[in-house]
Structure 1
């Protein structure tokens, strides 16, 4: 059993991205599993041969029993009867049992994780723009749907069609040995069966693809609503979201009915065709027997073959319908999951060496693929250990700049360098390992507080994690955490996206995570925006220590938090319009001075007037 379960390496990597054509996609998804799949196909053929052999043995035994008569039957045929019993009690069960074991232990438990791990690995490598354009729930559902469908296509195909082909070919040969007319009946019936299948299965495939797409819309709609449930409740839009879900479900229902209408018609014509075979084959065998051209054993063989093929035709056809339905789902999944990575490592890319932290934006242009540029010719050089703040209106390009530095997107013009090396010549993981970042929208996993902080340095000890939490002023509130399973403190889970925490608590855990990472370049995107004034003042002192000796790029709308930076760069419409120290920019009385005046009393003065 263990050997069968380990025949396929369940989590093996695939070569390259998933292809967009069905056949190539299946070869990519199943690479490494084909020897086991081929072995199962051989076993399936052997199973089909034993079924035909069983029918022949029954007919042969009847003919011999009839020729010997009851008196001599057991005296002369007992060795043969023992052999026949051995066939039915040992050989046939052994072949079928082996096939069941290979399917249940070798294929089904391994193919699903093999395919899903490859798809998941490819999805994880996509750039942020891929996820910006789709629902997270829909992408997840497509990956799982495709992995399940590939598993079912493979197992059903090798179990069914090897068996069916061997049984049909064997039946034709067996009937030809009785009478060529009976073989012609089998051949004619097979031709009609193939024509029926060729007519219906492409329709099944197309409508299954439509049904899978509609199901994904339902999943995406429901996940989108649940992910934003707080907004739904705040705006009292439960009825609106219910109608949106019902509209998606109505589309799924309509496509399911269209699929069902084809399936029902296929089933009816299939059963009608299946009924003709016993009538024609058994009737023909009886007629030939009446003419002295067939024996009683051959009648029994024809009867067994005809009823078995009739039963098998229904089973095979419904299996084929399921296979083509799954193929439709695979093709639907391919459209979502196979796009090439937009941000990829160059063939010569390397991990950075010891990093000093010099960062430079050289004539950088970027617009998310649109005509309007978010950054338009940005030139900015940051020396190792220098602390630089980016300031500007919303949409000025501040967050875009740091996203490009982390290579979450690739520049559309110019280049960004780290210690003089174009970041496109560095591996993405190697680059990001050198940059610690705290974002305004802090991401949390539904894992323990300990695991969330340790994400910054997976090899860190518990003591190091707690020390980082203390520096981020998170230790005290973490000790008071308790989740719905009774786990407390650092072992308490934080809920999906950290919903059990306040915004300030999430930011403090994110700061602890970055403190633990201890990267030479530090990016702060509104890192203290969710903190109250008292906690922010304490954390600012911590940040002063954390920033010491690091290259810092900070974004803040609350200008008091960046007044002590070495240099402040003011962006407007994707360009640098001012830069200098806090004092020099105030003296200049430009855009930065206007921002500062508004935040430090401009609104109050206006209200007083």
Structure 2
């Protein structure tokens, strides 16, 4: 019976807060208090109730000490024979109140604190932060370690909870308790307040000196910890490259440098901790000795009773032990504030690519694409170039693609081919011009609807560390297993899927592929990516070296399926091997952000320009170098 009641109570209080609020995703504000309030609003009423219950528990402890002092006085004044007759009823009532009332009060406080707040509160922070980070622009992640960002999201949410609960629980408890202790001592004799008052002045001075320093170190430590985690995760994420170049020592040095930076903050913190411990011990010892001298002197001259002496000594002992606890909690409070401020610098960043006000969903009845006078510079878009310089990719670029037309993009590395695909998907915003799909400016439609209408296969295929089934139907969550297998067969991925087994014994479509799909070969990952796009069946198709990782036999087989997939769709294909795009309706040669040639394969060959020379020079259909002295262009694989 009791177990059922407790389970029901736990269930009730745990469900008082929704840890996954459905609020509209907004960028958290950058002010510290506004940032904390952003994640605190759903639990604010419960935090207030927690503080009231904490105050009542603290007041109950002070009353208990007062009662014990009175009891000491009574024991010293009354005759033993008359004690129970005179005070028995009061003692029994007090005992019942202490045995029943105080535990019930603590139970209520614990249920609110532990069941309603402690688990749900940080999860709200993680959930809202994660939703916001998923909406961050692609440029943001190109400048950040994934491990560092995830560390910020996890530790900032926990630090927010610790900051708020310490203020509303610890501070309330300490203030009520200390105020009650001063009141009790002042009632007996005002001189008894003097040692406590002097101690408080010293205590506040210690806090004023040490707490800001601990806070500053905490901020540095939080950033150093995130940097250390980011470097370690970066090594694990690129373990194949590290093994390939046999450069473990350099990676160890790279990680050790971050670890030493973190240890530097730890050593600074521990030095302050040692000094703080010594100073606090000295202050508390002075309080104990001073109060003992004061109460013994006043008792000796019969100014106070023996009960007051007992109360004073007991309260001072309690304050002495509480002071260490409170100081470390306050230090922890400011450390958490430092962590929150550090996390805020990462989490409270506005996405560079934002939804337009009242953005509508994109509809694609035909699939006409117009690139109208594009102007785009990487540095202004938020992408830091290797040389740290602004790179002008497009300045007035225009291109119109008819509904259902299939074009191929050709050009050297850095010519802007892949950038054009990224701009179509609105991974970056233009500095000038516009991109229209069936007359709709993509900057004025929702990003999700835009990307739902475009299927893309990239050269560097990255899979999620989930099952093959989840990866293939990622863009088509309603797809059945029959739909999945149809796409798998069309992508010629059925030849290896049934043979896959992960370390947990999951097979076939249930097998997990490892981080970024590392358990599959490049060709296998590419075929899964093609199956995913086949299943998505979007009206616009972008192929950025879609078959580059495949051997010739598999590529030839899949090429037939891609031709079927391209039927009725508007297609932009980027390829190094010209033979894979020669059959397309129109080929566009791009150089330095400009369209320098346009036409069919036969038309461009007849023109005897850049494309014709590429076709003649390539070996096995791969773009090589144009070594004609009369034409300085170097045409090579686009990255």
Give TM-score scaled by structure 1 length. 0.97
Cα offsets for 1:530-576 (capped at 9, x unmatched): 01111111111001110000010111111111001101111001111
1:81 is matched with which residue? 91
Partner of 2:160: 150
| 1:420-499 pair list within 5 angstroms | 420-499=439-518
Secondary structure in 2 matching 1:459: coil
How does 1:119-518 map onto structure 2 within 5 Å? 119-369=129-379, 371-518=390-537
Indicate the residue corresponding to 1:542 in structure 2: 561
Instruction: Give the C-alpha shift of residue 243 in structure 1.
Output: 1.5
Q: Decide whether the 8 Å contact of 2:523 with 2:550 is kept in 1.
A: yes
Contact 2:576 2:623 in 1 (8 A): no
Whole-Å separation in 1 of the counterparts to 2:621 and 2:209:
76
What is the CA–CA distance in structure 2 between the aligned matches of 1:603 and 1:581, rounded to whole Å? 18
CA distances 1:387-415 after superposition (whole Å, capped 9, x unpaired): 01111001100010010100111111111
Alpha-carbon distance in 1 for matches of 2:460, 2:619: 25
Would you say the 8 A contact 2:578–2:621 is kept in 1? Answer: no
The answer for the alignment partner of 2:56 in structure 1 is: 46
Deviation for aligned residue 1:473: 0.9
**Of 243-252 and 492-501, the range deviating more from structure 2:** 243-252
Matched, 1:8 2:8: no
Match of 2:102 in 1: 92
> Residue 164 of structure 1: CA displacement?
0.6
- The Cα shift of 1:157 comes to 3.0
How far did 1:122 drift?
1.0
1:363-405 Cα offsets, whole Å, 9 max, x none, are 1111212532122221011111110111100110001001010
Unmatched runs of 5 consecutive residues or more in structure 2: 1-9, 380-388, 626-639
Matched, 1:578 2:578: no
Q: Corresponding residue for 2:617? A: 598
Identify the match of residue 521 of structure 1 among 532, 537, 540: 540
Contact 2:578 2:623 in 1 (8 A): no
Instruction: Report SS of the residue matched to 2:590.
Output: strand
What residue is the counterpart of 2:635 in the other structure?
none
Instruction: Quote the Cα distance in structure 2 between the aligned partners of 1:69 and 1:262.
Output: 55
Equivalent position SS for 2:78: helix
- Helix, strand or coil for the counterpart of 2:429? coil
Structure 1: unaligned runs, 5 residues or longer: none
Structure 1 residues 244 and 110: alpha-carbon distance in aligned structure 2, compared to 1, 3 A threshold: same
What TM-score do you get using the length of structure 2 for normalisation? 0.92
Separation in 2 of the partners of 1:195 and 1:224?
44
Q: CA deviation at 1:510?
A: 0.6
| Contact 1:375-1:400 within 8 A present in 2 as well | no
Over the aligned positions, Cα root-mean-square deviation in angstroms equals 1.7
SS of 2:378's partner is coil
Distance 1:239 1:407, change over 3 A: same
Change (3 A) 1:450 1:316: same
Whether the 8 Å contact between 2:212 and 2:334 is mirrored in structure 1 is yes
Q: Among 582, 585, 590, which residue is 1:563 paired with?
A: 582
Query: Which position in structure 1 is the counterpart of 2:3?
Result: none
Residues 416 and 423 of structure 1 are in contact (CA less than 8 Å); yes or no, is this contact kept in structure 2? yes
Distance 1:519 1:531 in 2: 23
Larger mean Cα displacement after TM superposition, 242-251 or 153-162: 153-162
2:36 alignment partner in structure 1 = 26
Contact 2:147 2:230 in 1 (8 A): yes
Structure 1 distance, partners of 2:301, 2:514, is 81
**Closer/same/farther in 2, CA of residues 96 and 282 from structure 1, 3 Å limit:** farther
CA distance in 2, matches of 1:399, 1:99: 58
